[in-house]
């Protein structure tokens, strides 16, 4: 059998381990968010991003960009979270095309509950399993990978 088949390339294994490790951690984090807080990971991500924004508010288009989803997907997501009472949608007075998403008081309370649970899980599932040096290396690598190719950042 001459040569190594391309599908046996070690790069597939290395990237596969990255994906599998990420999925394992996210499953564990989401399981606890669901059982302890009745939140899915996408809902938590929305609440967290709004909670970390000035006045707990973001333009819907900015929220979509941060989440890496389409404007239609973020609209559907916000509609469901809004129906639960955690977020409100607000029109922009200056530009009718702009919509804002804002945490409600119930959303802030839910985020406070979920953040405490999530931090505990992060300590157990991620930070507690890697050394400080490994966490730093992963963070540096992921920061590099999240930049669009060719931006020179």
In a domain, 144, yes or no: no
Q: Which residues contact 95 (CB under 8 A, 6 or more apart)?
A: none
pLDDT tens digits for range 59-78: 999 999 999 999 999 999 99
In a domain, 128, yes or no: no
Alpha-carbon torsion, ordered 74, 76, 78, 80, to 10 deg: -150
In a domain, 151, yes or no: no
Domain harbouring 45, CATH code: 1.10.10.10
- Give the domain extent around 88: 33-121
Could you give the number of structural domains in the chain? 1
pLDDT tens digits for range 20-63: 999 999 999 999 999 999 999 999 999 999 999 999 999 999 99
Angstrom distance (rounded) from CA 23 to CA 29: 10
In a domain, 116, yes or no: yes
């Amino acid at each position: 059998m001459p040569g190594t088949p391309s599908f046996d390339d070690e790069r597939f294994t290395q990237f596969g381990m990255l994906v599998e490790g990420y999925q394992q951690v996210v499953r564990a984090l989401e399981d606890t968010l669901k059982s302890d807080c009745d939140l899915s990971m996408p809902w938590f991500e929305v609440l967290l991003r709004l909670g970390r924004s000035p006045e707990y508010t973001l333009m819907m288009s900015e929220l979509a960009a941060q989440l890496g989803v389409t404007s239609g997907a973020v609209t559907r997501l916000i509609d469901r979270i809004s129906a639960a009472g955690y977020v409100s949608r607000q029109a922009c007075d200056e530009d009718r095309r702009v919509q804002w998403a804002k945490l409600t008081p119930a959303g802030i309370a839910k985020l406070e509950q979920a953040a405490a649970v999530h931090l505990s899980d992060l300590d157990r599932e991620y930070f507690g399993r890697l050394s400080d040096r490994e966490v730093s290396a992963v963070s540096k690598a992921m920061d590099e990978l999240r930049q669009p190719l060719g931006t020179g950042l």
